[in-house]
Amino acid sequence: MAQRLSKKKQPRREERVLKEQVKVEEGVFNTRTMLTLRRLFSHAIISSLDFIISSGKEADVYMATAGTKVDAEFVIVKIFRVETSSFLKRNVYITGDPRFGKIKGSIYHLVNEWCKKEYGNLRIASRIGANVPKPYYFHGNIIAMEFIGTDGTPSKRLKDVRLANPKETLDEILRQIKLLYSASLVHSDISEYNILMKDNKPYLIDFGQAVVLGHPESLNFLRRDISNIVNYFFKKYGIVYDSDQLVSEITFEK
Ligand SMILES: Nc1ncnc2c1ncn2[C@@H]1O[C@H](COP(=O)(O)OP(=O)(O)O)[C@@H](O)[C@H]1O
Ligand SMILES: [Mg+2]
């Protein structure tokens, strides 16, 4: 498993090259984002930011080449867009989560909180051994995390694959949901878009909206997660599972 390793400093020449690479991006990112990106280089989390693999409503996801502090070839860099206003809709996942106080101030602040929350959720999930990208670093509106993929190609989303053993995969996804629940986490946005398939194993991603059980809506979010994934497997593979029963099974021992 990838982890931070060497504390070695980058060679000076390499550093100069990196600075050039950051400059190239300068037209694309705002100044704050640029400064945060520079931290990823100076902390040797990445050695180059290579290309974009997804541009969503709130965040862009980039492939990067790992720096010397990361024991892997590639790193995923998720950059939350500060200009976006669709964040305001997502406030519900933060308001009510006992880990967050009242969020005040600018959209920038809200985006930072969101990003911090995704990082914190990934930390909890990876600590308990869930199939999630290991988080490497977080600052401001940027998270660096483990690349889920093979030979430099990101793994496909559940939505984009035809599974050979769908029942096995669904059972594994439910097992992951249960594991998260045992650590008081509810993903709250489980769907065929937020699950990557690598070596026939499902990896849950996109933990920004995950909440702890202290959130007043957590049980409703869990119910929604279960019924979304169960419905997906019913429609695509004809598998019939009883969502209510699954929810009872997952919540029973807690
Ligand atoms: N750790 C990762 N490894 C490989 N690909 C990833 C990773 N994280 C995100 N992606 C890719 O980027 C896409 C968007 O990431 P996601 O975290 O779901 O952001 P969004 O908030 O835009 O939905 C994913 O569907 C996936 O294709
Ligand atoms: Mg997503």
State the catalytic residues. Answer: 189, 206
Cβ–Cβ under 8 Å, residues 117 and 208: yes
Q: Domain residue spans in the chain?
A: 12-150, 155-252
pLDDT at residue number 110: 85
User: Mean pLDDT in the chain?
Assistant: 88
pLDDT at residue number 4: 47
Nearest residue CA, atom 19 of ligand 1? 206
% residues pLDDT > 90 (the chain): 72
**What is the 16 CA–ligand 2 centroid distance (Å)?**
34
**What is the 206 CA–ligand 1 centroid distance (Å)?**
6
CATH number for the segment(s) 12-150: 3.30.200.20
Nearest residue CA, atom 18 of ligand 1? 206
Among 131, 134, 112, 110, CA closest to 122: 134
CATH of 155-252, one of 2.60.120.1570, 1.10.510.10, 3.30.1330.10, 3.40.50.2000: 1.10.510.10
DSSP for 118-164 reads HHHHHHHHHHTT-SSPPEEEEETTEEEEE--EETTEEPEEGGG---S
Using a CB cutoff of 5 Å, list residues around ligand 2, an ion.
194, 206
Q: Which atom of ligand 1 is the closest one to the Cα of 208?
A: 21
Block residue for tokens 């996109």: 206
pLDDT at residue number 14: 55
Pocket of ligand 1 (CB under 6 A): 53-54, 56, 58-59, 61, 76, 78, 133, 145-149, 154-155, 157, 193-194, 196, 205-206
Same CATH topology for 12-150 and 155-252? no
Task: Give the other-Cβ count within 10 Å of 28's Cβ.
Answer: 12
Q: Which atom of ligand 1 is the closest one to the Cα of 149?
A: 4
Q: Which atom of ligand 1 is the closest one to the Cα of 205?
A: 17
3-class DSSP assignment, residue 93: helix
The string of pLDDT tens digits covering residues 4-40 is 444 455 556 555 555 544 444 445 688 889 999 999 9
H helix or E strand, kind and range, residue 35: helix 31-42
pLDDT at residue number 158: 98
What is the torsional sign of CA 74, 75, 76, 79? negative
The string of pLDDT tens digits covering residues 88-136 is 666 667 777 777 766 566 778 888 999 999 999 999 999 999 999 999 9
Mutate which of 60, 157, 192, 205 for ligand 1 pocket (most atoms within 8 A of beta carbon): 205
